[in-house]
Structure 1
Amino acid sequence: MTVQDTILVEKNQHGVATLTLNRPQVHNAFNETMIAQMTESLHQLAIDHSVRILVLKSTGKHFSAGADLAWMRKMMQYDATANFQDALALGKLMYHLHHFPKPTLAIVQGNAYGGGAGLIACCHIAITASIAEFCFSEVKLGLIPAVISPYVIQAIGQRHARAYFLSANTFNAATALQMGLCHEVVAIEELETKAHEMITRLLQNGPHALQAVNQLMNHLQTPSIDEDLVHMTAKTIAMLRISPEGQEGLNAFLEKREPSWVKTR
């Protein structure tokens, strides 16, 4: 097992690589270090011919809370160019996970918000504990889930995505299953067993055939998720972060108060 600051990377003798988010003290929230380490690990595992399957999981109670608070504070001080580069780094992480050549399996033991849910949408297969909850809460901060939107829309469809992007409502694992964000929902104590069953099933299939399936699906997806789209979504969120509404929303969240647009009686 390779231990990095924010992630764990392990590979067994069967060619199953496991990438584990390892910031349980902040509910596995992203910061720039985690994003960089995950992206580099994906690059290395993608070109490792001994890897047949990639498993994405996390330590602790929650799968991922999305953006880290300290990272959000830093982003507020960035200008438009720096914000774009920061957003582009997250966009590239999602892009490389989505286009990973071997089958990817997300094992979701707890809640996933914002970019955490985006990671699940990027994986080819997702198995979720019944206690997990999901939310795209960015609009509460005057932002939008821009860089994850192509993958979420592909997973759950535009109509479901629009409703949850607009409302920022939390939804449960049963709803995630019904919409297609995950493929199986099991009790938390059965999660590892079900994941093992899926891994065993995948290992019984031709490794080159599995990669060919992924290549075919990437070719057939409409609209195409390419680097131009990654840049466009990164530019969109970068501009919103430095807008007056985005700044007010982020400040309100960090100061634990309602933003100015929320009117109380």
Structure 2
Amino acid sequence: MDNLPTQELEALRYIQYECRDAIGYITLNRPDKRNALSADMVTELKLAFSAAEDDETCKVIVLRAAGEVFCAGADLAYIQELQGFGYTDNLADSTHLMQLFHQIYTLNKVVIGQVQGHALAGGCGLATICDFAFTVPEAKFGYTEVKIGFLPAIVSVFLLRKIGEARTKQLLLTGDIITADKAAEFGLVNFVVSREELADNVVRFARRLCTENSGQSMELTKEMLARIPEMPLEDSLLYAAQMNAEARGSQDCRRGIAAFLNKEKISWE
């Protein structure tokens, strides 16, 4: 592995991280377990996202997976282990996953999901918490928790923001598994492309963000989009105006406007 800043990251077992051409790749690497989530895997994902966020050579992050399945949700052995948990342990475990989803949602770099196979339950949440998601026509998506007496609790917070109440209810209350095309129609993913073209499409999209967009501007825009829904109308407008004013004084804005006025092509790498 490259670009791993600490011994802790160098010891990752279930996740791989590397950065190439300003794109940081975080790879789920438990293909024999269909990349199912366990407490250890969530810990490693948190470490990898922190590493990518701190990596000065990384501008955009791609979350992908090894094998045929993107992520099948919680690991069966781990689900069995949870049967012996009390409330305190269950709250700690739920908070662990919540922290990962919040970390991805508020990360200061754009996260692109490269979903090469089925994404179910917590795995579907992981795929759809990304800022953008590419998938293949064969992939299936679904939040199946209600079918086993569980709750799709944490992902509901983000889904309500992303796709609205009606579609969130349809997905979470039925637990239905849907096609990639339906996931795109609902707004869970952005692009459906052939398996052969998936990786190339993701790289081209990531490279376009790296070269055509200011990293600072994308960071602040992502921050605004996370914070504004929580605010009353007047507060959100004041916050937006303040962010606008601060951005105008930034080095990136001055550079971008100068290039625009001089009709010069600008590369943000």
Q: TM-score, normalised by structure 2?
A: 0.80
- Identify the match of residue 112 of structure 2 among 105, 109, 126: 105
For residues 141 and 128 of structure 2, what CA distance do their matches in structure 1 show?
12
Q: Which runs of 5+ in 2 are unaligned?
A: 3-9, 233-269
Sequence identity of aligned pairs in percent? 28
Pairing 1:164–2:171 present: yes
Matches within 5 A, 1:162-241: 162-204=169-211, 205-222=213-230
2:180–2:192 CA contact under 8 A, matched in 1: yes
1:19 is aligned to 26
Task: Name the stretch that deviates more: 109-118 or 188-197.
Answer: 188-197
Pairing 1:115–2:119 present: no
Letter of the aligned partner of 1:126 in structure 2?
A
For residues 115 and 230 of structure 2, what CA distance do their matches in structure 1 show?
27
1:233 is aligned to none
Letter of the aligned partner of 1:31 in structure 2?
S
What SS does the corresponding residue of 2:150 show, helix, strand or coil?
Answer: coil
2:96 is aligned to 89
Q: TM-score, normalised by structure 1?
A: 0.81
Deviations 1:63-101 (A, max 9, x none): 000000011011110110001001110110111011111
- Identify the match of residue 6 of structure 1 among 14, 23, 30: 14
Pairing 1:124–2:131 present: yes
- TM superposition shift of 1:153: 2.3
For residues 169 and 97 of structure 1, what CA distance do their matches in structure 2 show?
25
For residues 41 and 17 of structure 1, what CA distance do their matches in structure 2 show?
10
Misfit runs of 4+, over 6 Å: none
**Cα 1:197/1:177, change in 2 over 3 Å:** same
Deviations 1:180-232 (A, max 9, x none): 111110111111121122012111211111112112211223479xxxxxxxx
Q: Which runs of 5+ in 1 are unaligned?
A: 225-265
- TM superposition shift of 1:44: 2.5
Provide the aligned length of Structure 1 versus Structure 2. 223
Q: Which has the larger radius of gyration?
A: 2
For residues 21 and 208 of structure 1, what CA distance do their matches in structure 2 show?
28
For residues 57 and 161 of structure 1, what CA distance do their matches in structure 2 show?
24
2:15–2:48 CA contact under 8 A, matched in 1: no
2:47 is aligned to 40
Task: Name the stretch that deviates more: 214-223 or 188-197.
Answer: 214-223
- The two structures, once aligned, show a CA RMSD in angstroms of 1.5
For residues 152 and 14 of structure 2, what CA distance do their matches in structure 1 show?
23
